[in-house]
Amino acid sequence: MNLSRTLTAALLAMAIVMPAWAGPTLDKVKKDGVVTCGVTTGLAGFSMADRQGKYTGIDVDTCRAIAAAVLGSADKVRFVPATAQQRFTLLQSGEIDVLTRNTTWTLTREGDLGFLFAPPNYFDGQGFMVAKKAGVKSAKELDGATVCVQPGTTTELNLADYFRTNKMTFKPLVIEKLDEVENAFFAGRCDAYSTDRSGLASSRAGKAPNPDDYVILPEVISKEPLAPAVRQGDDEWFDIVKWTIFAMIDAEEKGVTSKNLDDMKKSDDPEIQRMLGVVPGMGKSLHIGEDWGYNIVKQVGNYGEVFDRNVGPASPLKLDRGINALWNKGGLMYAMPIR
């Protein structure tokens, strides 16, 4: 009995002091010299390539922040555009290192598909967009409507649930590629288009012949926490992706921006000192450089900067912070302590 107790105590002690097991992804990324991210085939504000092939958006900046943390440069990234149906196969097969593609964190995607989700980089909800001339004021008026939707998404299930719950019928027009879904809606092939409300705002701003001719209905029919995903079984890489998001949120909370960063390194705030590597240790814990947090904010910005330039009121999408505000300003963005 005493031997058993001694062995148990020793195993517990080892569990306490042992670091997270190293995984293959960080080694692969360092060897390749690039972080490979799965992104959308084109969604303004989240992931969109211009004519020169330069990508911008919240999901793009999330990938760039991971590269800044791991490789010291936000430019050491490779983007792989993926449809809603392709994205999970790309991650499972190892063709991408992380999925930063406006993807909803759900139980089955973790339990059945074998993924782990980092903290959401955007909290959203599904809605409907209609042509203003239709005179529809509420989703409850869509009984019998034809609705454009993409396959392989939570949108499909939510749509069916909403209409069944409200004892209404609808005719789905299912199209895989995003640009083809948008084209079908704006060509009048369906009465409504349903996806995340941020996606509706993006489509209206970027694809509508005249954005003022379309309205997003007030109903929000689901919770859609959009978050980066990685493969299960590589805790080291999961920690890096997770704490990259937390660092961006924490930097905003602490008032650290890409412009005042070097002055803020002189702060007496211990959390800022740890985040920016003035006091070492956090980088070692993640198996990356001590300047990981500094590089994220310097090269990409804090969460507020990323939100504002991609989807905020001054952007084409003109979205307010809403529930994506910091936790101490009425929102859901909350970073775990860096210590």
According to the model, what pLDDT value does residue 152 have? 81
Q: How far apart are CA 248 and CA 275, in angstroms?
A: 10
According to the model, what pLDDT value does residue 18 have? 41
Task: Count Cβ neighbours within 10 Å for each residue of 134-151 and write b for 16 or more, e otherwise.
Answer: eebeebeebeebebbbbe
* Domains in the chain, CATH or no CATH each: 10-123+226-329 (3.40.190.10), 126-222 (3.40.190.10)
* Residues 6 or more apart in contact with residue 41 via CB below 8 angstroms: 81, 82, 83, 177, 178, 179
Mean pLDDT over 6-35 rounds to 68
Mean pLDDT over 281-306 rounds to 98
Q: How far apart are CA 326 and CA 303, in angstroms?
A: 9
Q: How far apart are CA 246 and CA 302, in angstroms?
A: 10
DSSP 272-294: HHHHTTSS-SHHHHHTS-TTHHH
Q: Which two tokens stand for residue 323?
A: 């529930």
pLDDT grade for 8, boundaries at 50, 70 and 90:
very low
For 285, phi and psi rounded to 5 degrees? -65, -30
Mean pLDDT over 27-51 rounds to 95
Mean pLDDT over 231-256 rounds to 98
What is this structure's pTM? 0.88
Surface-to-core class of residue 76, CB atoms within 10 Å of its CB (0-12 exposed, 13-18 middle, 19+ buried) = middle
Q: Looking at 3-12, 103-112, 270-279, which range is the least confident one?
A: 3-12
Tens of pLDDT, residues 168-205: 999 999 999 889 999 999 999 999 999 999 999 999 99
According to the model, what pLDDT value does residue 13 have? 45
